[in-house]
Chains A and B, each alone.
Chain A
Amino acid sequence: MKKISLNVNGKDHILEVEEDMRLIDLLREKLGLTGVKEGCSEGECGACTVIMDGEVVNSCLVMAFQAEGSSILTIEGLGDEENIHPIQQAFIDVGAVQCGYCTPGMILAAKALLDKNPNPTEEEIREAISGNLCRCTGYNKIVQAIDRAKEVLR
């Protein structure tokens, strides 16, 4: 076991982690943040996307001990029913959520994009979510939702 400290959704944690634990397992199993979804386990689907020190990463491809000292944002830290984030609201309003499995990763990919580039073009939006697969929506509603969120956030 190895002791690490990190900040998740604004809260500092000191945790004992197994040497072979992945970040996704830490978030889901140690902290109960089940909005982090496991899809392909090899960095293709993006369902496990979280924001680590301001950048999107696949949490299935980061070892827990590598996250020592970092700040992680998961969907639970972005907003909830009482305090919904404009990107989440835009996904609901536009109808960009179907089965919902890709949604946390999609919204975090959108958040990382809009933090860096508040006024992205459609092409930039599609590029930003290119590491997140959705098998329901055909992507157009998701792109529209991010486009709407950018207007609200500006």
Chain B
Amino acid sequence: MKGSFIMEAYKAKSIDEVIRLLSQFEGKGKVIAGGTDLIIDIRNKKVKPEALIDISSIDELKTIEDLGSFIRIGAAATFTDLVESSLLDENLYGLKKAAREVGSPQIRNRGTIGGNIANGSPAADSVPPLLCLDSTLILRSIKGEREISLRDYYEKGFKIGEDEIISAIQFKKPEGRQILSFAKLGLRKALAISRLSIATLLEIGGDNRIKTIRIASGSLGRHPLREYKVEEFLIGKDFNEEVINEAVLVLKEAMEERLKGRATLPYKQRAVERVFKDAIYGGLERLKVVEA
């Protein structure tokens, strides 16, 4: 690539090697995994790293682990790895569905869950389901390990240090009849950047009341975010069509506040109803399959 600033390139074999190099380059080193966003940014001179540190073949960063009540996904696990993982069936199907709808086979084979987060795209498909799961990011640097909540990363603007790497994403498994779901609107079937996406974690109690509800959206703000107002509206209510229709109105109001003046707002406000309902009812359909 003519005119790039890259002087050095390392194919790292362990996390320790990565964090040592990051520290050594003092902010001028950049971690590359799938490269599906980063290589385009380098070509367009949006980022100008002096050194590239490849993490795409570090096994300890690619494993998807069952830790009992938690699941831990290595940051360099690809979307294909997520799609093929048997740990993400059943109640976690919304995360798998989001991974399956990313880009194209070529992009899913390279693109990673850590990259989806680190690049901070408002349209990152895997993030709304992870927000619904109250996920934690595990960061590593030569100073050690620290954890930050994914919500704080987005909502409080917590930064990943120049000497840090996301090593894993961890979340608690859904309990009981909680079901994670995902729906997205793209302009075509493959390779479509999400126009908007919704993930939900829903549980309806034996009394038909909404026992658990977490909702996260993509492309409805500067970054993926939790829709707390809609959650507050729904929690404890009797689950029926009328209540879901009212929740759509609450969601539209929240969007209005955030996206006022944007040309895409009227379109997104119309489209969001269907996407939200697809997530909610699609999840309940899935629950029937899981429980069958």
* Chain A residues at the B interface, C-beta cutoff of 8 Å: 2, 19-22, 41-44, 46, 49, 55-58, 60-63, 65-66, 68-69, 109, 112, 127-128, 130-132
Residue B35 is within 8 A (CB to CB) of chain A in the complex: yes
Q: How many A-B residue pairs have CB under 8 A?
A: 89
**Contact between B39 and A61 (Cβ–Cβ < 8 Å)?**
yes
9 new A-B pairs (CB below 8 Å) besides A19-B6, A22-B39, A130-B190? A2-B9, A19-B8, A56-B106, A62-B35, A63-B35, A63-B52, A65-B52, A66-B35, A130-B189
**Contact between A131 and B6 (Cβ–Cβ < 8 Å)?**
no
Residue B126 is within 8 A (CB to CB) of chain A in the complex: no
Give CA–CA (A22, B110) in the complex, Å. Answer: 14
Q: How large is the interface on B (under 10, 10 to 19, 20 to 34, 35 or more residues)?
A: 20 to 34
Q: How far apart are A109's CB and chain B's nearest CB, in angstroms?
A: 7
**Most A CB atoms within 10 A — which of B35, B42, B105, B191?**
B105
B189 neighbours in A (Cβ, 8 Å): 130
Give CA–CA (A112, B4) in the complex, Å. Answer: 33
Q: How far apart are B125's CB and chain A's nearest CB, in angstroms?
A: 15
Give CA–CA (A42, B80) in the complex, Å. Answer: 19
**Most A CB atoms within 10 A — which of B7, B39, B80?**
B39
Give CA–CA (A69, B7) in the complex, Å. Answer: 21
Give CA–CA (A19, B9) in the complex, Å. Answer: 6
**Contact between A43 and B106 (Cβ–Cβ < 8 Å)?**
yes
Residue B138 is within 8 A (CB to CB) of chain A in the complex: no
Q: Which of A42, A46, A58, A68 contacts B110 (CB 8 A)?
A: A58
